[in-house]
Amino acid sequence: MGKQSNAMWGGRFTKQPDELVEAFGASIAFDQRLAFYDIAGSKAHIRMLAKQQVVTEQEAQMIVEGLDSIREEIEAGTFVWEQSLEDVHMNIEHHLIERIGAVGGKLHTGRSRNDQVALDMHLFALEEVDVLVTLVTSLQTALCDCAERNFDVIIPGYTHLQRAQPVLFAHHLLAYVWMLARDRERLFGVRKRADLMPLGAGALAGTTFPIDRTFVASELGFTALYENSMDAVSDRDYVIEMLATLSVVMMHLSRLAEEIILWSSAEFGFLELDDAYTTGSSMMPQKKNPDMAELVRGKTGRVYGHLLGMLTTCKGLPLTYNKDMQEDKEGLFDAVDTVKTALRIFTGMIETLTVRTEAVESALRQDFSAATDVADLLVRKGVPFREAHEIVGNMVRYCIETKKPLAELSKMEIQRFTPLLDEQELVALTPQALVAARNCRGGTAPEAVRKQLQWARERLELR
């Protein structure tokens, strides 16, 4: 081997890489995050090699003990990462050889960095999906609890951000519980497709050594193997799917963030956020800003960007491994960290918010959310719906012009539009009555929402 070549992959090289090339190609600054997964994979691999008598039991024990000591140093923060060694795998292997001698070089028997990094990323994805499922479940629980605490609160429901029909506040919150339930299902799907063990694929074609991939899979907790070595080292579908799922989670959080931002404004005044989840102004002492909700709304684009970046990276890659795939890490790491933090913040925000019932009740008194129910009354009296719709539309226009709510129209005023209604029927259409009337499955009536809340909580127990 030439004296200037890299000891981990040298031989045919007589020079070290240019410094700029070395810095540009190194991934150790971010892939050291995979160190514990790399060590776990290496221990399973060397135990398998010993079982298959490719190395001796004594050699395997020396390597396992050396890897354990490296892990201890990493945990203690005293391990020295070297950029010249490119990545987490070569750093660990280099230091292992330094500690236990040439026998440490036997660890790489029957494997490549290609299947090694694939293994580490699979282990990372599996562990982080489990964390994300727990955090999504915690937010769902917080939303259910908030719905229960404020069960009798009725708020205006909106379409086109215009007041439409009254709904229970609990019903509105539960819509997000079901969105997050679908996110959980998607995360379970990611986990299933990440639960494939790639080690043993080698660089791309497998290995000539008598390895036992099933043993390694069992040691690491995998339930399935890649059946094609080329697919094993080149597959990043699960990374893309995980980024796609995280993007949908952030989209849902961003929608909720927008509503929290609107509802906590003076113009709505429906909510007050706890001081712990807001910030002030450096100039205006009266301000209480929903910055955490705004940041989550803003960081949604960041996560979307990581998804698009990974799709673009993979779209033109020939089989099998290409250095482009090094780009699978930073985006996924950042997306995972962003979503985990967003979920934790939203859980605390929902747990501590206060509903301002007086402002909500005031908003309900000022709208025409009973209009659909007035039309339904006419339909029950034989008027075709389209005709009823026009009659009530004319009534609403009259109310706007005279600055009256529907419930305050006199019998004489009502008669201008239809002889089929009287003032008592309109007075009876209170927000409580309007909500209670929608007692279909999935509707906003208290009885229906209680059932929905029960079903939602039962779903939280499912895996």
- pLDDT score at 463: 64
SS3 sequence of 106-141: HHHCCCCHHHHHHHHHHHHHHHHHHHHHHHHHHHHH
Q: Which of 407, 409, 411, 410 is nearest to 419 (CA)?
A: 411
Beta strands in 120-277 (DSSP E): 154-159, 162-168, 271-272
Residue 173 has pLDDT above 90, yes or no: yes
- pLDDT score at 3: 41
Annotated catalytic residue: which of 160, 229, 254, 282?
160
| Residue 234 a catalytic site member | no
Tell me which range, 3-17, 192-206, 275-289, is most confidently predicted by mean pLDDT.
192-206
Distance (Å, rounded) from C-alpha 109 to C-alpha 129?
Answer: 31
Distance (Å, rounded) from C-alpha 183 to C-alpha 113?
Answer: 33
| Residue 281 a catalytic site member | yes
Contact 150, 355 (CB under 8 A): yes
Q: Tens digit of pLDDT for each residue in 89-138?
A: 999 999 999 999 999 999 999 999 999 999 999 999 999 999 999 999 99
- Residue count (the chain): 463
- pLDDT score at 367: 80
Cis bond before residue 320 (omega within 30° of 0)? yes
Annotated catalytic residue: which of 265, 281, 362, 410?
281
Residue 164 phi, psi (nearest 5): -120, -75
18 pLDDT band, cuts 50/70/90, is confident
Q: Which of 181, 172, 160, 178 is nearest to 271 (CA)?
A: 172
284 pLDDT band, cuts 50/70/90, is confident
Domain made up of 363-446: CATH architecture? Orthogonal Bundle (1.10)
- pLDDT score at 161: 93
7 pLDDT band, cuts 50/70/90, is low
Q: What is the mean pLDDT of the chain?
A: 94
How many other CB atoms are found less than 10 A from the CB of residue 177?
A: 23
Sign of torsion, CA 332 335 336 337?
positive
Cis bond before residue 372 (omega within 30° of 0)? no
Lowest mean pLDDT across 13-27, 44-58, 388-402, 443-457:
13-27
Distance (Å, rounded) from C-alpha 277 to C-alpha 409?
Answer: 44
Domain made up of 19-109: CATH architecture? Orthogonal Bundle (1.10)
Contact 7, 86 (CB under 8 A): no
Residue 281 has pLDDT above 70, yes or no: yes
Spelled out in words, what is the top-level CATH class assigned to the domain 114-154+167-354?
Answer: mainly alpha
Distance (Å, rounded) from C-alpha 293 to C-alpha 262?
Answer: 10
**pTM for this entry:** 0.93
Domain ranges (residues) in the chain: 19-109, 114-154+167-354, 363-446
369 pLDDT band, cuts 50/70/90, is confident
Residue 6 has pLDDT above 70, yes or no: no
Cα 148 to its chain centre, rounded Å, is 24
Which residue has 């709304």 as its token pair?
297
How is residue 391 annotated by DSSP?
Answer: H
- pLDDT score at 126: 98
